Amino acid sequence: MSSEHQDWLSAASDNKPLTKAQLDSLLRDTELQSTLERYHFIGATIRREARGPLSADFSAEVMAKIADEPAYQLKTDRDLLQRVKASVAAAANGRWLQPVAQGAIAAGVALMAVFGVQQYQQQPEDMLSPQPLLQTQPIAGFATPVSLSQTTVSDRFAEQEQQAMLEQQKRLQALLNAHRQQVRVMEQEQQANHKAEANTGPEQNEQQ
């Protein structure tokens, strides 16, 4: 029986966790407590620690030390507080504080304005960046679809938007191709016609 106790007690002195039942028996049995204390002391000695572990009744020592401390009495000085309050109230109504207070308010407003404007100036950029009116290279590469595993509700809307944009880009690409095709097949005689027209163009304008 005792060897069983010693096993888990020795483990406990090496900072192994205790079960609830073991803890209960340790709290109940003073003999076990003193055994644990001994084990800790042995461990500390082996580890060559300068001081041994706290004794089981260290709380009693602390209590005794607290009892020895002198007691201090704290008392609020109401008179002084009231005097300061009264003088501040008098000064606030007095002539000299009003301009100072107004100045403080003005400075506060100015500060607000400065910081407010700075924040306001930062905003438009953020608002513009998601949908630039003029994209320099929209045709060249298509955006790749986002991974499905990362889909959230807002992502789904973004996906729809992206889908719409992709479709738009495809349509524009088709139109761009059609335009290039038209330029290719513009036939010689048409160009010649155009040149002839163009040459007579300015004269007509002059007549008008």
Partner 1 sequence: MMRFSGVCSAIVLVVFSTLAQAEQAGWALFDKVQSAVKQYNFDTSFVVLKGSNVDTYRWLHGRTDGQEIEHLIPLDTSGVDILRRDALVYYLLTDRPAFVTRSDSIPELPALFFEPKENISRLYNAVAGSSSVMSGRSAQLLRLTAKDASRYNYWLWLDDETGFPLRIDTLSEQQNALERWLVTHMQISNEMPENLRSLMAAELPAPGDSVTRTAVSSSHQLTWLPQGYTQVEEPANIPQLENSLLSYWLLSDGLHQVSVFVQQAQRLPTQAYRDGATTIYVQNANQLEVTVIGPVSIETARQLAAAVH
Name the residues that contact partner 1, by CB under 8 A.
Answer: 133-140, 164, 168, 171-172, 174-176, 178-179, 181-188, 190-191, 193-195, 197-199, 201-202
CB closer to partner 1 out of 55 and 181: 181
Query: Residues 142, 148, 150, 155: is their CA dihedral positive or negative?
Result: positive
Phi then psi for residue 70, to 5 deg, are -70, 150
| CB closer to partner 1, 81 vs 186 | 186
Determine the Cα–Cα distance for residues 9 and 38; give it in Å rounded to an integer. 10
Burial of 89 (C-beta count, 10 Å sphere; 0-12/13-18/19+)? exposed
Least separation in angstroms between residue 179's CB and partner 1 is: 4
Phi, psi of 202 (to 5 degrees): -60, -35
Q: Which is nearer to partner 1, 50 or 185 (CB)?
A: 185
> In this structure, what DSSP letter does residue 140 have?
T
Least Å distance, CB 177 to partner 1, is 8
Residue closer to partner 1, measured from CB, 17 or 141: 141
Diameter of the chain by CA atoms?
Answer: 127
State in angstroms the smallest separation of the CB of 200 from partner 1.
11
Minimum distance between the CB of residue 186 and partner 1, rounded to whole angstroms? 7
Nearer to partner 1 among residue 136 and residue 208 (C-beta): 136
Please give the Cα distance from 50 to 107 (Å, whole number). 62
AA identity, residue 155: D
Please state the closest distance from residue 189 (CB atom) to partner 1, in A.
9
